[in-house]
Structure 1
Amino acid sequence: MTVERISVGIPGLNSMLGGGLIPGRTYLIKGAPGTGKTTLAMHFAMAGVACGENVLYVTLEEPAENLKTDMERLGFNLSSPNLTIIDATPTAERYVLVENFFESFSEGMDKMISAIKDQFRQRYYHRVVLDPITMIKMTTREEIEYRRAFLTFVKTMTRLKTTVLITSELEKTNVEEYLVNGVIELKMFEIQGKLTRGIRITKFRGSGFDGTIRPYEITDRGIVVYHDRFISLP
């Protein structure tokens, strides 16, 4: 039986995934600052827009205006009516995602879930991006509380039948990696004095995948993954 796939907007990564992501599931992009997580997330969002899909992009760290400026420099056109960008950063003048539902990002995952559900009552979104989930995790007092809330989040997104991409800067993402359907890791290595970027898939439920560390570059047109090459670590 052929499994339906949706593009992440990066041909080389689609090849590593066997054609793309399986829709209706939640995926994690993890990596250190500067590895290109936001750029990858935007590729995913704009691939949806290119297919006529509605996309909800929630930025929790980078102010929306900065995000738009940086992404437009890479050739992304963020003016499509199919793309909704929500600024939920602590630097925003108002910490509002949906009025009366998400007044401050520091109120945690439960408020985020309520806000997203309310957005879906107004409009169906085929794809959702949370960038980065780190900001919510850092404001949750108890780990067990966060685990419960994150599980509720994944179940809610599944019921909404939307494909979700979340990013994280934390090296240890145990609960997220356990509960999501797929994990893509972005890493940087120093090989013979040269900085090399590598991407690998560590988890992809329901599908085979290429688990080799493949090199990638962040160019003036976004991310390019070289799926036919590999990184040889010393």
Structure 2
Amino acid sequence: MTAVLLWLVFLAILGMFLVLGYRRNRERFGETFARRNLRSSLFWILLAVLCGVAIEFLPEPWPTWVVVAFDFAVAVIAAAYIIRWSQRRYNAGVLLVRLRPQRHNKRWLFYGGLFFSVLALLQTIATFGAIYGDIAYTDTATRNLWFLCGQAVLQWALAAFLMAAGLAPTELRDRGIYDRLSVLPWKAIDSYRWEGENQSQLIVSASRNFPFFAVCKQLSIPPTQRPEVASIVANKCG
């Protein structure tokens, strides 16, 4: 009964975040983007649930080792993504304008990086406690120790990734809009518009050849850079 109750609470919180995210995206980017973003979120949530259920049906000790392998794989992917940031910047072409770090990037830094840093620190303490504690090195204890190590490595990698992404400026380059998370090619942009006070918010909508994804970016443009940015965007997307 307790496990069922916890799942119900988790699903209620998840549903609340999905509804709030849908309403926020609809107000900011429109109905089409909000629906595609909601479908994307539901797709990945369903995929994660199915994978979790499939792992639970594996015979022991495979569930633990699958989770450990997943933790290290994600950590390696995050590290490789960080290493390739400079290459993606180079591929995006010559720098045209460098903008200050965007508000959503700061949220990645504060909420994401700080959250995972705290988790990683606690997980590291637990891991060293298990290593230096009085434990019997049975197969079960060894698997549990690897599980703790995998969780610590994963959380430190996510913390580093999110904090680095949060500190990154956004750059308008010759081949697209670059930040450390992605490069949005100019040719993929369907439309753009200016909103907000003094028309300082640039919103671009892009098409991708994926059924579950839609891309919208909101960029805060300082008044001193607005004429230059407006000229570049009109030239690249006109």
What TM-score, normalized to structure 2? 0.25
Identify the structure with the greater strand proportion.
1
The higher relative CO (CA closer than 8 Å, separation ≥ 6) is in 1
What TM-score, normalized to structure 1? 0.25
Question: Which structure is larger by alpha-carbon Rg, 1 or 2?
Answer: 2
